Amino acid sequence: MLATMKIEEFPAIWYQAANCGGCSISIFNSVSPGIENILIDEIIPGKHINLRFHTTIMAAEGNAAIRLLENSKKDNKDNYILIVEGAIPTAKNGTYGTTVNKDGRRISMATQLQSLAQDASVIIALGTCAAFGGIAAAQPNPTGCMGVDQFLNARRITTPLINVPGCPPHPDWFTGTIASLLLYGLPKPEELDEYKRPKAFYGKPIHENCPRRAYFEEGKFATSFGEPGCLNELGCKGPVTYADCPLRKWNNGINWCIGAGSPCIGCCEPGFPDLVSPFYQKLNATSLPL
Amino acid sequence: MTKIVIEPVTRIEGHLRIEVITENNEIKEARSSGTLFRGLEIILQGRDPGDAPIYTQRICGLCTASHSMASALTLDSAFGIADEIPDNGRILRNLILGAAHIADHILHFYHLAILDYVDMTRIANYDGGDSTLNSIKRLAEADELRLFTAGYEGDYRLSDKANMELVAHYIKALEMRRKAQEMLSIFGGKMPHNMAIVPGGVTATPTTDKMLSFLWRLNELRDFINNVYIPDILTIAEAYSDYFKIGAGCGNLLSYGNFELDDEKRFLNSGTVSTELKLSPLDIDKIWEQVKYSWYASSTTGRQPRQAETKPEPNKKGAYSWIKAPRYDGKAYEAGPLARIMVNYANGNQVVKNLVDSALAQFKLSPKVMFSVFGRHIARALYTKLVADAMPAWLLQLRPEEPAYIKSTVPEQATGMGLIEAARGALGHWIEIKDHKIANYQCITPSTWNLSPKDDRGQPGPMEQALIGTKMKDENTPLEIGRIIRSFDPCLACAVHLITPKGGNIDTLHIT
C-alpha cells in the first residue's frame, strides 16, 4: 500500500554525541506537527522524513541498532539528512566520548561522526552544542569539544550544514528547517546568517520584539526578580541574542524565559555560555547595539 | 561461558554499553562503565555561583528541573537565605519539580520501557479508525517500522487486545508528557531547562489565571495517571509477573526526601531502608565516593562529596568507567522512585502504604517483592500519582501577585549543600565558594548511585548486582538484561561492562 502512494522518502539519522538529551526532549515537545507525526506521517503531503536511528526512542538495541545505523548510511549514501545533537569531544583522540568496539578497539564519537558526515546530503547541527560547542565546550573545555562546523572544517568535509542552535532549540525551528528542506531543498546562501542559522528564525534580536521593550525606552528597569521593567540591569542578553522567542514563545506558546521574569541568557549565540555570562550581570554598554 | 555485548543500550538517556558473562544461561558477572565525560564540574570552577543552576541543568536534559532545584537549594544554604525563601517561591519550586517528575515518569514508562514488553509489529492486525495507528499499521505492512523495528523476536506475552491498547497509549502518552512540560513552563518559562528557579526563590510571579491554567492541565494529567498509566502498568505486571522476582539488586535503598512544606518538613521523608523494610535515618556523613575503578586520579578516592575532586585520568589502569562509585556506610545503595516509596512505606506514611498495598493486592504479593524490576516500575507510577494528587493543594496555597523571590548577595567564602529527589532518585549538589567564585562544585546524581562501577573494596554497583544471578531464557534474545537495566531508568551517558572472570574460555556472542 505504501509503495503505491509514491511517498518521497527523506532518510534521516539522528546522532547524539556529547549531549544532555535536552534537544531531543525539546523536539518531542513539538505541537503541530506532533512528534508522532514527525516519526510516522508525511509531514508535507507526499513527503516523509524517514528517521531511522535515534537511540533515545528506537526499539532495537545493541548490534541490531548499529546495523540499522550502518545500513541507513550505506543504502542512502549522499542522500540522508544527518541530525547531530551534542558537541564532539576531540581531546586525547576522542577518548572522552566513545560509542562502540570495533576490531577490539573503542571507536570514538569523532571517528563515527566523521564517517556519517561525509556521506550525508545535508547536516543539521541541532542545539548550541552541535552548532557552536555550547556548554560542553565551555572554558576550560576539558574534553576538547567543538561544534560540527569547526569539526568539519578541520577535516575538510564540505557537506552542507545548517545550524539550528538554542539550549535547547525550539521544536518549530527544527520542524521548520526540515519542512523547508523537504519542500525547497537546500537553503539559498541569503537565507542563512553568518553563523549558518536560518534567518527565518534567528533574524532579529530578542530585544527588538520584546514585550518589555517599552520599559527600556522609558528607562524603567527591574532591579530584582519579580519587578516590572526591562531586565537589562538583571543581565538580559536579549539585545545580543538573535531568535524569535518573544513572538513564537515556548511549549505550545505558553511562556518563554522573559515571560517568567527571567532575563534572556543568550543561548542561541556562538558565544554561549562564556561570552554571555555571568548570566545575571548587566551587559557592557559597548556590546549593546543601538 | 558466554560474553553477551549490548551496545548501544537504547531507550535510556545517553550512551550505554553492557557486557555480561553467562554460564548455563545465568549471568555470573557484571561491570558497569560510563564512557562519556563532559566535565561540567570542572567547567563550573571559577564561575559566578549564581549561574550554577543554569549550568547544572545542562548535566541532563531530562532531569534538568531537578538539577536547578538541587542547585538553588545549595546556593540558598551557601548564601545564608535558606530560611528566608518566600512561601510563593517554595511552592512554585515544588510545582515546577512535580511537573517535571510527572513528565519524566510518563516518558520513561511509555517511551523508554514499554517496548521491552509490547510488540509493535502486531499493529498489522489493527482494524480500528485511529489515524495515527493506521499510519503505523501502513508502515508495519510495508515492513518498514523504522524506529519501531524491534531488536528481538521472542518473549512478548500480551494479548493482541492489550498489546494494541498499549500502542495507542504510547501515542497518547507522547501528548501527555508534552502537556506536563507545558504545565511546567507556565511558571518555569520554558522546558527543557527552565529559567525560573534561582537562588532566593523563583523569578516568576503567580497570578490567578496562571494557577487555573496549571490546575486544568494537572487535572487532565491526573486522569491519565489514574485511568491509563497505573492500569497499564498493572496489566503488564500481570503478564510478566516473574519480573517481581528478577533484578532485586543490592537490597539497600536511599532517599533524600522531597518537596519542602510550610512546616519545614518534607512531603516525603528521607531515610534508608533494607529488604527487611527496616528504616534508618539518613546520615550524610556516611557518603563517600570511591574511584579505584573509575577514570579519575587515585589520589581523589575515599572523599566525602564536599571534599571531592574531579581529576580525569582516561588511561588509568584497571579503571573501566567515567562514573564514580558513591557508597553509603561502605555499601552500595539504590536510589530512585522505589527508594522514595519504600522509605515512606517503612516510615508508616499511610497514603503511601495504601497505594502500595492496594497495587500488590491483586497479585497477592507482599511488599518485599517491590525489590524487583516491576517493583521499580510500580513504585514509579505510584509516586507519580502521589505527587500529582498533592499538587492541587499546593497550587491553592499560592498568593497571587505576591513575591516569590528574595534578593541575596554572593558571600566571599561559603559552603552549601542541596539534597533532593530528582525523578530518577537521590540527587546531591555541593558547593565551595572562595573569592565570591565557585572553587569546587560536586554532584552525585541518582545514576551515579545506580550505575556505579565496583568500589575500592570490589563491591559491584546496584545495577551490576541486579544483573548478576539473573537466569536468561535465551541468550540470543537477552530481553532480561534490557528489562532490568531500564527498570532503573538510567539517565547518564554511560556504559556498562561485565567483568571477565579469571580462567575459563569466553566466547563473545554478538546479539544479532
Does the pLDDT of residue B422 top 60, yes or no? yes
User: Tell me: the pLDDT tens digits for B55-104?
Assistant: 999 999 999 999 999 999 999 999 999 999 999 999 999 999 999 999 99
- Give the N- to C-terminal CA distance of chain A in Å, as an integer: 59
DSSP for residue B44: H
Give me the residue label for grid cell 498489522.
Answer: B124
How are the residues of chain A apportioned to helix, strand and coil, as percentages rounded to the nearest 5? 40, 20, 45
Annotated catalytic residue within B17, B67, B377, B483: B67
Shortest CA gap A273–chain B (Å): 9
Q: Answer left, alpha or beta for residue A146, where phi above 0 means left and psi between -120 and 50 means alpha.
A: beta
The per-residue pLDDT for range B330-358, each reduced to its tens digit, is: 999 999 999 999 999 999 999 999 999 99
Under the banding of pLDDT at 50, 70 and 90, the label for residue B315 is confident
Q: Rounded to the nearest 5°, which phi and psi values hold at B267?
A: -60, -40
| Terminal CA-CA length for chain B | 18
Residue A145 known to be catalytic: no
In this prediction, residue A287 carries a pLDDT of: 52
Distance CA B308, CA B330 (A): 16
Among the partner residues B17, B178, B196, nearest to A29 by beta-carbon distance: B178
Which class would CATH give B2-118+156-510? mainly alpha
What contacts B344, CB < 8 A, 6 or more positions away?
A: B255, B268, B269, B352
- Burial tier of B457 (Cβ tally within 10 Å: 0-12, 13-18, 19+): exposed
Task: Please name the residue of chain A whose CA is at the shortest distance from the CA of residue B187.
Answer: A260
Nearest CA among A74, A182, A194, A165 for reference residue A122? A182
- Of the CA atoms within 13 Å of residue A3, those in its CB half-sphere come to 4
Q: Do residue B11 and residue A96 have CB atoms under 8 angstroms apart?
A: no
pLDDT confidence of residue B151? 72
Among A82-96, B94-108, B151-165, the range scoring the smallest mean pLDDT is B151-165
Active site residue A230: yes
**Contact A21/B60, CB-based, under 8 Å?**
yes
- The better pLDDT of the pair B411, B60 is held by B411
Which residues is A83 bridged to in the sheet?
Answer: A14, A124
Tally C-beta pairs within 8 A across A and B.
280
User: Residue A35: closest CA among chain B residues belongs to which residue?
Assistant: B174
Among the partner-chain residues A50, A141, A261, the one whose CB lies closest to the CB of B205 is A261
Contacts of A40 in chain B (CB under 8 A): 132, 135-136, 139
Question: How much is the pLDDT for A285?
Answer: 58
Nearest to B379 by CA among B230, B223, B241: B230
Active site (annotated) includes residue B447 = yes
Residue B423 — φ and ψ, nearest 5°? -55, -40
- Separation between Cα atoms, residue A135 and residue A265, nearest integer Å: 12
The set of cell numbers assigned to B65 is 528541573
CB contacts of B400 in chain A (<8 Å) are none
Nearest CA in chain B to A93: B314
Assign B273 a pLDDT band (cuts: 50, 70, 90): very high
Q: Given a cut of 90, is residue A95 above it in pLDDT?
A: no
Q: Report the distance separating Cα B66 and Cα B424, nearest Å.
A: 9
User: DSSP secondary structure string, B59-100?
Assistant: T-SSSHHHHHHHHHHHHHHHTT-TT---HHHHHHHHHHHHHH
**What percent of chain B clears pLDDT 90, i.e. is strictly above it?**
71
pLDDT tens for each residue of B468-494:
999 999 888 889 999 999 999 998 532
- Which residues in chain B are closer than 8 Å to A31, comparing Cβ atoms? 178
- Closest residue in A to B511 (Cα) is A63
Report CB contact under 8 Å: B40, A135.
Answer: yes
- The beta-carbon neighbor of A256 closest among B136, B190, B198 is B190
Strands A122-126 and A161-164: parallel
- Are A52 and B198 inside 8 Å of each other by CB? no
Give the nearest partner residue to A142 out of B17, B43, B512, using CB atoms.
Answer: B43
Residues B211-246: tens digit of each pLDDT: 999 999 999 999 999 999 999 999 999 999 999 999
| A208 SS3 class | helix
Q: Which residues contact A229 (CB under 8 A, 6 or more apart)?
A: A212, A215, A220, A221, A222, A223
In DSSP terms, B5 is beta-bridged to B19, B510
Instruction: Grade residue B35 by pLDDT with cuts at 50, 70 and 90.
Output: low
DSSP state of A205: B
pLDDT score for B202:
98
Which amino acid appears at position B204 of this protein? A
Report chain A's mean pLDDT, rounded to a whole number.
93
pLDDT tens figures, A125-139: 999 999 999 999 999
* Residues of chain A found within 8 Å of residue B61, distances taken between Cβ atoms: 19-26, 168
> Quick one: which of B143, B140, B114, B110 has its CA closest to B127?
B140
Q: Rg for chain A (alpha carbons), in Å?
A: 20
Residue B60 annotated among the catalytic residues of the structure: yes
Between chains, do A55 and B10 touch, taking CB under 8 Å as contact?
A: yes
Active site residue A210: yes
pLDDT of residue A211: 97
C-alpha cell at B300: 581523589
Give mean pLDDT, residues B21-32: 87
Residue A119 CA: distances (Å) to CA of A80, A122, A124, A134, A186: 8, 9, 14, 25, 16
Summarize the confidence of residues B6-30 as an average pLDDT: 87
Q: Under CATH, to which class is A3-199 assigned?
A: alpha beta
Confidence check: pLDDT of B495 > 70: no
Alpha-helical segments (H) within B110-159: 131-141
CB atoms within 10 A of CB B165: 17
Taking contacts as CB-CB distances below 8 angstroms, the residues of chain B near A96 are: 36-39, 312, 314
DSSP codes of every residue in A154-167: HTT----EEEE--S
Are A98 and B47 in contact (CB < 8 Å)? no
Structure ipTM: 0.96
Q: Is B250 a catalytic residue?
A: no
Q: How far is CA A23 from CA A141, A166, B120, in A?
A: 20, 8, 26
Catalytic residue among B447, B464, B486, B497: B447
Which residues between 134 and 163 in chain A have a beta carbon less than 8 angstroms from any beta carbon of chain B? 135-136, 138-143, 145
B315: how many CB neighbours lie within 10 A of its CB?
8
Angle between helices B208-224 and B160-188 (to 10 degrees): 160
Which one of A23, A224, A225, A279 would you mutate to disrupt binding with B, by most B Cβ within 10 Å of its Cβ? Answer: A225
> What is the 3-state secondary structure of B100-118?
HHHHHHHHHHHHHHHHHCC
Cβ–Cβ gap B60/A139 under 8 Å: no
Strand partners, A107: A100
Query: A96-114, pLDDT tens digit by residue?
Result: 888 888 887 889 999 999 9
pLDDT at B32: 64
Backbone angles phi, psi at B321, to 5 degrees: -155, 150
pLDDT in tens, A176-194: 999 999 999 999 999 999 9
CATH superfamily of A204-290: Cytochrome-c3 hydrogenase, C-terminal domain (4.10.480.10)
Residues in CB range of A288: below 8 A, 6 or more apart: A239, A240
Compute the CA torsion angle A163, A168, A171, A176 (nearest 10 deg): -20
Q: Greater confidence, B182 or B124?
A: B182
**Identity of the amino acid at B108:** H
For residue A3, the chain B residue with the least C-alpha distance is B142
pLDDT at B28 over 60: yes
Our CA dihedral for B292, B296, B297, B301, rounded to 10 degrees, sits at -50
Separation between Cα atoms, residue B388 and residue A53, nearest integer Å: 34
Contacts of B37 in chain A (CB under 8 A): 89, 96-97, 142-143
- Give the span between the Cα atoms of B340 and B347, in whole angstroms: 11
Q: Name the DSSP letter for residue B233.
A: H
Contacts of B35 in chain A (CB under 8 A): 97-99, 106
Q: Which of A40, A53, A138 sits opposite B43 (nearest CB)?
A: A138
Question: Chain A partners of B196 at a C-beta cutoff of 8 Å?
Answer: 260-262
Q: Give helix B87-106 / helix B64-78 axis angle, nearest 10°.
A: 150
B431, pLDDT greater than 60: yes
Contact A100 B7 (CB under 8 A): yes
* pLDDT for the residue numbered A2: 43
Exactly one of A145, A170, A257, A268 is catalytic; which is it?
Answer: A257
Q: What is the pLDDT of residues B148-159, one digit of tens each?
A: 887 788 889 999
Q: How far apart are CA B239 and CA B150, in angstroms?
A: 19
Show which of residues 37-66 on chain A sit within 8 Å of chain B, judged by CB atoms: 37, 39-41, 50-66
Instruction: Give buried/exposed letters for B72-106 (b at 16+ CB in 10 A, else e).
Output: bbbbbbbbebbeebbebbbbbbbbbbbbbbbbbbb
Residues of chain A with CATH 3.40.50.700: 3-199
The closest of B189, B213, B193 to B203, measured between CA atoms, is: B189
Q: Measured between beta carbons, which residues in chain A are less than 8 angstroms from residue B187?
A: 260
pLDDT value of position A5: 55
Are B48 and A277 an interchain contact pair (Cβ–Cβ within 8 Å)? yes
For residue B506, the tally of other CB atoms under 10 A from its CB is: 13
A203: helix, coil or strand?
Answer: coil
Phi and psi torsions of A108, nearest 5°: -80, 155
Q: Which three cell numbers stand for residue B350?
A: 499511610
pLDDT band at B15 (very low <50, low <70, confident <90, very high): confident
Q: So where are chain B's domains?
A: 2-118+156-510
Distance CA B20, CA B497 (A): 7
Interface contact B314-A18, CB threshold 8 A: no
Task: Tell me if A180 sits within 8 A of A198, measured CB to CB.
Answer: yes
Name the E strands within B131-241: 197-198, 201-202
Of B55, B186, B195, the CB nearest to A257: B195
Task: Kindly determine whether residue A66 and residue B8, on different chains, have CB atoms separated by under 8 Å.
Answer: yes
A contacts of B200 (beta carbons < 8 Å)? 225
